[in-house]
Each structure stands twice: as structure tokens, then as C-alpha cells.
Amino acid sequence: PNMQWIDLRSDTVTQPTPAMRAAMASAEVGDDVYGDDATVIQLEQLAADMLGKEAALFVPTGVFGNQLAVFTHCRRGDEVIAGDDSHLVWHENGAAAVISGVQMRTIASDRGVVPPKEIEARIRVGEDIHIPRTGLICLENAHGNGRVIPLATMAETAAIARRHNIPIHLDGARVFNAATHLNCDVKEITRHVDTVMCCLSKGLAAPVGSILAGPADFIKRARYNRKLLGGGWRQAGVLAAPGILALTEMTKRLGEDHANARYLAERLAAIPGITVDSDDVHINMVWFALPESVDSDQLTAALAAEGIRANGPYGGKMRLVTHWQVDRNTIDRTVAVIQNATT
């Protein structure tokens, strides 16, 4: 069997729990295009209830959910406002242009926060033969930088969007992580947006899939558009069953991942030459910079030699991500390797 890696590259690497595998094996299934898969229907109803929306759709990935939202909210030629360091802009292959034919209007974020006044300044107003329509505002919470956007900021953005009658989509890949950090119900976050994408496959440990939730008529159109994109499911109950456990069980333990990330950050900060902003560690991610003297390829090789998987730096910073398969012992082993590499 392949060696038991400690995998700190991302929370996308999480393996399904034993309970999830049992649920997969015994899942009741049917043809979901015909609406016959009781387990998918159960997941979608549970997700809609938990996210405080009228309806929800089970989709293959977070990118699929984000891009299906843009495709369903917008017309071709619309402009979409988003932070310049959002996943939707950075890491989705330019899909918004390819699939939806929209123009991304990006705003420099302040450590992930897109200032509401900057959003308002870019909303297209009035009839003018030169200008596109602003079709959508996209927010991200928790942000890919590991920080959580304050609720007050989201409320301010929602008020501006409402004033201009523009929908907001939330990339909530880690929205349950954000709710855990804010110590609030996830509905306190989602009430400020029209639609939300939430990943089941990251810290929540489902093997596959995300949820797109929103108003019933929107989800009805999104369901049609999912089929148009080839995302119609057949007996997907085998994947929805672990998704149900992701929502009912794994949402409750995210605080453990956050505590482990804080522990990792504290231990890294104690290593001379390593710079880490511990107050940036809101969820399960630790971003840090290596001292100039350390070659990151040698470091990732030294970690691999100890059975630890980590990505090289991105934008000059390394990222380590905690999840249900990472504990204090594995963190101590990881820190020991990094410590050796930097002395």
C-alpha cells in the first residue's frame, strides 16, 4: 500500500472517514437526472436548510459551483466585480470568460477584504451606449489567504448591492470554517448573499463535491445549466451520502483544525528566520515565508523524506493546511524538519 503520507498541501487532500465509506457502500441511489436519487435529494435539502436558502444543488467541484453561479446569474457581456486575489479570478482558468462570456472587473483586496466603497464605485449606473451591465458581485469567505471577512463588511456590501439591485455570489468553499472562526451560525454569513457555493470535499472531508445554494427559481435554472454543462448526475447518492456526513458531523470539528493551525503557526514563528503572521491564522491555513538562505525545493524534499507532503512557495510564501488527518504529533514532526532546514 502507498506509504501513509502526512499531507499538508491543502484540505483538498482529505480522505473520506470510515463512516463516510460505510455510508457510500450502503447509499440508496437512483437516476438523479430523473430526480430519483433519494440520497442526493436528502443532501440538497439538508444543505439548503443549513445554509438558510430555499434550495440547493449538488455539483462536482467548487469551481463548477462558482462558474455555474456566474453562468446562471449573468448574461453574456455582463461585468462581474470580484477581488483580484479571489479564487474565481486567480485559479479558475479564466472560466468566467470561457463559459459565461463575462468581463471580470477586479478590485485590489485589503488582505482579502474588498472595500465596499470600492465595489460601489465600480457599479455601472444608467443607460450609456458605452457601458456593460454589472451582472454580479462575487465575495469569498473564508478567503484563500486564510482570513475571515468580518460580518459588518459583508452587511455593508449587501446594502450596496441591494441598493443597485445586483446579486451577490459567495465563494464559500470554506464558509463553515468562517462560521467556526466567527463563532456564529453559518446563516449569519449567508444571509448577506443571494447564492453561496460551499465545498463538502475540503475540511469537511467528503471525497467529492460542493453545494450551490440560493433562491428556488435560481436553483431551478442552475439545475438546467448544470445539465447543459454535462453535470447531470446519475446514481450520485454514493457521493451524496458522505456529503451528508460532511455537513452533519465534520462541520462540528473544524475548530480542531483551526487550533492545530494556530499551534503550527506558533511553533513556526519560534524558528529564527521564519516569518508568519499568527493573527492571519483564522482557519486551517498557515502562510509563512522562509529565510532567504533556505532553498524551498530542498525543504520540500526533506519533508518528503519524512513522509510529509507540502507544496512549494506561492507568491513567495509557503502554505501548510491542517485537516482531520493532521494532529499535534504530525505538526511537531513537520516543524522539526523545517527547524533543521533553517539552522
Q: Name the site residues for ligand TLP (rule: CB under 6 A).
A: 10, 12, 61-63, 66, 87, 91, 140, 144, 171, 173, 199, 201, 210
Minimum CB separation of residue 12 from ligand TLP in Å reads: 5
Half-sphere exposure of residue 26: CA atoms within 13 angstroms, side-chain side:
5
Instruction: Give me the residue whose beta carbon is nearest to ligand TLP.
Output: 62
Rounded-to-integer distance, Cα 168 and Cα 187, Å: 15
**Is 156 in a helix, a strand, or coil?**
helix
The residue among 74 and 199 lying less far from ligand TLP, judged by its C-beta, is 199
Kind of pairing between the strands at 195-199 and 168-172: parallel
Minimum CB separation of residue 256 from ligand TLP in Å reads: 19
The residue among 72 and 201 lying less far from ligand TLP, judged by its C-beta, is 201
Minimum CB separation of residue 59 from ligand TLP in Å reads: 9
The residue among 224 and 314 lying less far from ligand TLP, judged by its C-beta, is 314
Q: Are 202 and 173 in contact (CB under 8 A)?
A: yes
The residue among 193 and 271 lying less far from ligand TLP, judged by its C-beta, is 193
Residues 6 or more apart in contact with residue 135 via CB below 8 angstroms: 73, 74, 75, 78, 79, 80, 102, 166
Q: Which of 181, 280, 223, 220 is nearest to 58 (CA)?
A: 223
Minimum CB separation of residue 93 from ligand TLP in Å reads: 10
Minimum CB separation of residue 209 from ligand TLP in Å reads: 8
Minimum CB separation of residue 293 from ligand TLP in Å reads: 27
Q: Are 88 and 72 in contact (CB under 8 A)?
A: no
The residue among 222 and 271 lying less far from ligand TLP, judged by its C-beta, is 222
Could you give the angle at which helices 296-305 and 328-342 cross, rounded to 10 degrees?
Answer: 140
The residue whose grid cell reads 454589472 is 134
The residue among 106 and 210 lying less far from ligand TLP, judged by its C-beta, is 210
DSSP single-letter state for residue 169: E
